[in-house]
Amino acid sequence: MRDDEDVKAIVVRVDSPGGTVTGSDYLYHHLKMLREGEGTGRKLPLVVSMGGIAASGGYYLSMAAGDVPDSIFAERTTWTGSIGVIIPHYNVGDLLENWSIKDDSVTSGPLKAMGSPTRKLTAQMAEEEHKVLQELVDQSFGEFKDIVTASRPQLAKDLDKLAAATTGQVFTAKQALDLGLIDKLGFVEDAIDRAIALANLDPKDVRVVRYTQSTGLLGDALFGPTASASSSENAALQFKLDSIAELATPRAYYLFSWLPPLVVNSR
């Protein structure tokens, strides 16, 4: 879209519970670049159309629409919001002990193994690690709120609404509209009409193109660019190993928290 001068406006369809902090910010950054014309000098109006769910990281990247009036649409049945940060952590130390398995990792410092799911913690160790992880969450949460208030300046002026909108709660579309998290209730067709208007185009002389992934739903996102039918077993094994590593690695998410992080691909 950045390279195609026939593109005059963009509608971003968001249907996502979120993802990692870094993945969400990456998408937000590049969408914002498209809208502001950074690197091309060609600003493209950008309108967001929310599907079934646009929560947490899904809401974060929706902020790329900026503070342009009537630029964020949600369907009547959309769930959105969930503005917050979570670092999922599970400890299986007691289970491993029952199996006579002991975590005997050697580290360069007491916090190097922070968040390990296999290490039994004393009360003092747990308190210290929780404090460090909480500081990471708080900083990422502060950055999330900064992104929201930059694109929703009316929330920055109403601290009560801002506080209500940033508890981590997920909202219905009507609740989000009342809080100012979205601009309009409407379907993707309404978002397209708004994009056409923002670009000052003739509705009768516009062609709407839907961009799709050429590799299918799984493709490179799960198995990597070298996967093929002949290497499917190796690819599946790699996916399982990557999934285990994902669960074992402390990572911050802008994620609607009842969904398991294993199902989320950051990019």
Residues with catalytic roles:
56, 112
**Could you give the count of Cα atoms lying within 13 Å of 252 in the half-sphere of its Cβ?**
18
Which are the contacts of 37, defined by CB distance < 8 A and separation ≥ 6? 43, 44
DSSP state letters, 28-69: HHHHHHHHHTTTTS----EEEEEEEEEETHHHHHHGGGTT-T
Q: What is the maximum span of the chain, computed from C-alpha positions, in angstroms?
A: 72
Which secondary structure element, helix H or strand E, spans residue 135, and what is its range? Answer: helix 123-151
Phi, psi dihedral angles at 46 (to 5 degrees): -130, 125
Distance CA 267, CA 135 (A): 25
Closest to 190 in 3D by CA, of 78, 82, 27: 78
Distance CA 192, CA 194 (A): 5
Which are the contacts of 7, defined by CB distance < 8 A and separation ≥ 6? 1, 44, 209
